[in-house]
Structure 1
Amino acid sequence: MARRSQQPSDARRRGQRRDRSRVRERGIASVLTRAVRDVERGVQQGRVTPALRAKVQAIALLMRQARADIKSDQSMSNNRRAGQLERIEEVAANLARAAAREASLLELLAEDAVVSDEARVVKREMVRDAGLEAEFDDVASTEVVPSEPATQRRVVPQSVVSRKLANPFLTPDFSAVGQSRSGPRRLESWELLGPLFRSFESASDGAPACMTLPEPASVQVPGELELMPHQASLIASVASGHRTFLLADEPGLGKTAQALLAAQAADAYPLLVVVPNVVKTNWVHEAGMWTPKRSATAIHGDGETIDGFADIVVINYEVLDRHVGWLGDLGFRGMVVDEAHFIKNKSSQRSQHVLELSDRIRSRVVRPLLMALTGTPLINDIGDFKAIWQFLGWIDDKKPLAALMDSLEDTGLTPADRGFYRAARSSVIDLGIVRRRKVEVAADIPSRRIADMPVELSEEAGRSIRETERRLARRLLSRYEKALEAREPGVVIDGIDHDLVRLVAKRERDYEAASDSEDNVFAMMRRIGQAKADPAADYAAQLARSVGKVVLFAKHVDVMDRAEALLTQRGIRHVSIRGDQTTKARQQNVEAFSEDPDVAVVVCSLTAAGVGLNLQAASNVVLAELSWTDAEQTQAIDRVHRIGQTEPVTAWRIIAARTLDGQIAELIDGKAGLASRALDGSAHEGSAAVDMQLEALIGLLTETLSSSH
């Protein structure tokens, strides 16, 4: 009896699931289709309002949830499932096409995008319109929030243990951070974060985007380095006592130097610097330049090679999870987050770790130095900066914190007053938003300059290339020693015989250049270029998102291919200029780069595009591979640095750290004249490529001989 009574019940349940599936198919698909049409109309008419952005995100959330439900519904046939999925994919394609016309909408389609409260409301309304309140959970169920794995691997490098043992009194100051004013507050009952964000979206043209900075003061910098006035102004602000900054200067204006000198002015040591992997080595390099009396170390992997006693600790986002424990206990008095837009998604693990470290520093240190660096314009999707403001201690998850709340109280206004938004925006900016553009400080900076960007190669590629360098060095050393043995008796040279070094290097250049050996200098530089393709393209993508169009130069076709593949993966529209293109195809690509606002990067052959082209739609150049002559490098940069260029030009030269790449760069600089190259961009013919290759081999053999004696 029990079995007979259960069978009808099961059948009814299967029938109910089929009915709900059909209702969902009709209801949600039609609602999504109507919503996408609204988005298309808004984009076409140029009305990309906060409400439209909320609708875009709500559509994306519903599409993902509907797709997942369809795939998991076992009651439908394969044909019906395929039909429903096809309708959802068609909606997704239409939405993507509409969003592609307005770059600020694309980020809302990412699965890890932070869901706004407005999008949650719109999503619920769309579900209700479809008659499916009971079928779809709240939007929170569609968000994937990474949880802390129960067995997450955490490490403590031995050198850090040694530091703690050497100074058991390292415990930082737990004094309470400045308290807020006592007494009743007018704004206590108001919801303020939404109005604060909207105050930036509704800012009129000409509204200030930068806090008032003091006049630049004299700052002692090492050697021949020179601090530009706009940089010195920020250091003066730190010297006067300011301690939190959202430094949003455009790339090329020296944010790294400003952060390092700010730490020096504030005596904010030890200093923690969190950065993307592509610039980690560059931070250590710049620290050695600008603050040479302060030791700097970079954390790679588990941190076995770090200096636990260093004043400046640099770590990349990707390995932050395994070190966050001991970093929080070390007693940092300052923290810098580079490319701070990386933490905009508060549900991501990287954002959670950065905020955790900031909280621990602010709870233990009175007025620590906190700096968020990003070249991303402030006016686009200011809600993305919620995590950054929280890192700086301006707000928490729900409300402004003491300093900002006090400033808002001082305005005497509420969000119901017309003047509140302008006053609120000023209150936030005065907390430390600093934004300068190249065109605004053009008088302070060279019209053209080259900035070296050392990058750490992947572990496998770096290990292989360094081993190849060692084989080349051993071969040169062996030839040198054999030549010494073959000398006539009685010839004695004290130390290194530099004439013989030159002869050995010349033989290597002349004979090995024609061979197929994988460890000659020519093949090695090509392999280094291949290994740099990804970090170079990654940096070009970052620049494109921050400041607009970018020109990327490479010598070899395979390097160009890899760079273009990564740009495609990053969703960056690009074109290329290659030697095998027809004149018509090349001109079409130049015009697309110059005139189409959606084409962000042009990938150019250093030889095919180094002369005769006008690419001044960009003011940033990425040199993925080094030339053998300064003249070739200069010609490439001059495709952008031309008559009619209205902005200072910055060429970012990608250098593979701890390889022959750095030596080649130094040779180019030495031959061309470093001062002329860096300060006024004057062109030098330099030495011929053949001489540069010879000098590179001479340098490698001389260094090997010096280390072996």
Structure 2
Amino acid sequence: MNKTERVEIRGLVADFEQWGRRAAEVQARRHAVQVAASNGERDLRARSVGINRAGQVAWRIIPLQSSDKGIVAHLWERANLPATSANDRALLRLLAEDAPRAVAEVSPLLGMRRFFTGSAKKQSAEAAAEALRRHHSAVTKARGPQRLERLGFPTAPRGSGSLGLHALLDPALRFDLLSGRTGPEPEILDRSVFGDLPEALDAITKVVASEDSYRSAARNAGEKVRKAEVRRVLQEMPLEALKAATRDRLRLGPLAEADINTVQEVLNRGRSLSTLPGVAETSARRMLGAAQTLRRTTYDEMPIRIDIANRRPETTHLLRCLAEWDSCRVTRGASTDLERAAELAPLRTAIGAWTSHVLVVPAGTVAVEGLRESIQIVKRRAELLGMSSASGPRSVHTDPWDDFLARPADYFVMLSELGFLTEDENAVHGDLPEEIIEAVRNQALSGEHLTASLRGYQSFAARFALVQRKVIIGDEMGLGKTVEAIAVLAHLRSRGETHFLVVCPAAVVTNWVREVTGKSKLRAHRVHGPERDRAARTWVRDGGVAVTTYETLAWWEPALTKLRELACVVVDEAHYIKNPQAQRTIRTKHLITRADRAVLLTGTPLENRVEEFRNLASYVRPDLTVDATDLSPRTFRRQIAPAYLRRNQEDVLTELPELVEVEEWLPMSGADASHYRAAVERGNFMEMRQAAMLQGPKSTKMQRLVEIVREAEENERRVIVFSHFRQVLNLVARSLPGPVFGPLTGSVPASQRQQMVDEFSSAKHGAVLVAQIVAGGVGLNIQSASVVVICEPQLKPTTEAQAIARAHRMGQVQSVQVHRLLSEDGVDQRIIELLAAKKRLFDDFARVSDMADSAPEAVDLSEAELAREVVAAERQRLARSAAGEA
């Protein structure tokens, strides 16, 4: 290699050394940026806390402070590092790895050592020099130095406002907690949203702690009642149950010989069983283990029941503890708000004094707005608790049984809050699709304006109505649909809504006004009767809950159409508007359409034809497609599921006493039969239905009714007597002994109906309320009665069910006896057959079930068709009977 070549190579070496240093700097810088960004992500992840809802993480929360802008800067730098192509990576490898090796190999040709270098090294150096020439040519031709400069600097200039904390939401930063996710968008909330939350949580915790001793005392008392009941059950459980529990061939003879006859007696003996003659130690262990298994199983399945017929000391103590807890707690009615506080508890330690923002990342389907709403609910609840003065428990009545009997539903709600009354989770959801169930679970329910505590299934219904906006709540009668609707209105009031309207039958206007006033802080306005003008004007001006009737709507409709905002309309006994051609239906439907939300309440959405049920669904959700060509029950229920929620008593009211229904088939007396034959000859169907009661003391049904009332008085019960016919009711009222209230008929003003019920409820045992079944069987709560008598079968099964539910409902503490008075000969038998067919229709379509998928029209009959058919059949039967006697 000559001098010129050596100069050339030295120039190449100098270039590659310079480029190599620059390439190393670029690689080091890129690595440092990557590490800094990864460390920043790791730091943010380590701070994150999960907020759970319904057992699953709903949001991931990351507290942020001003210094986190440095992390944002690192993420920005990483995101803006120039992307490296395959050629870029090859260039960096060449300059950082390949070229330095070639430089090292060519060095023997460039200095004095070249004179002492062997031929082999000279050949290697020559090859390296040639490689440097090729590499240098390739690098310069590909503008390698310029590319190096590009790889070392961000691709975009850093704007002055682009690196605030909100830049974390920029997808370009590729923050790993936000990358590749789906669902609701994450948000960053500033301190104005959550700043007071720790103090609010502390305040709530303090109040709950102040009540906790009373709550714990009530819980411990409940456990004693439960254990005592388990002991009584095991004391009556025979020894044979031990074999069933273990599927083992236990020799029980030695136990019987030792006068041990029940499972509880085995437990009483314990380990001393092995000392009995004929009982080996292994057998004793098996026997005792089986007995303990039975005790655990019985305990797990044992609900708490308040037996008013057996006022045991442990139950009295429980009631006293519940009364003391209830008297001191300012959190009454706040259970749903306290649930939200418990959800947000992880934020208490996560939010510090330096926290300026929080990054909220939805982990499921609930948007950040749901978290913001929960924070506001908790802060408002803390504010309300701060305004409440808990000066210790008020004095509790000497006998807590009196307070329990006066308001049993309140006590059952407390037992439910303590976990002693469990609900079937699937039954609570009715027949709803999973996606709606999830949305309902995630819906907040503010208790700010609610003063009543809700059962779990009631809270679910209120949230269902909020999520779906316009719905039918078809809960079985007696489950508390009224308070479910009031909870919806109270929540909407906490969101700034002001005007709510309840449309109901006249018979229950008073009850609605009482319930709104007693279970919420909302103001009720009675827009019915002589003061309706003043009440309507006050409601329009001040807002609140206007309670009116279907009939009053005709008068009020012109003024209502001018109202700009109607937040929610509640339609009670919504089956009243099943006929789309009726004027009250047209008026009510117009309100439903205008209102932002609507809640239709009915325990009997289907009375005769499926078409009626379909009409109700169309009022709230005209967008639902109900296929008229496929009327199978399962298909129908699936199609209306988004708008319809129903739960049944036996599924959610585990504490409800037994319902005993007795069909009392009675012969007609001579006077009854004579009257009945005359009615048949005249073809008078309605007279045929009454014939077995109208002979007064000579009628077998009346004689049996008097016996039932006397038995009820002896058993310290009150009685409701239902009939469709006023003539029957008047005769019953004159014929019965003891205090009789009524008849309660459709002609009795609504306010007087409630007064009549109140007087009956406070009367002595043996009192009777006589009521027309279409008037007294709707809307009124009469759980002070525990004996129901239905004088004749009704033409709709839902009519009888409604009447029975007046007594057998939440808050009832006695078993309810239902006596159906039926004549062996005559029209009653045919009506009973019709009732059975109609009940199958209701169960198939309106009640959650999986029964047969027959078409409903096959079993439907109009009342006119029924009358013609029955009269004709009875004429033939009586004619045959007369011919036989002749």
TM-score bin (small chain): 0.3 to 0.5
Q: TM-score, normalised by structure 1?
A: 0.34
- Structure number, greater radius of gyration: 2
TM-score, length-scaled by structure 2: 0.28
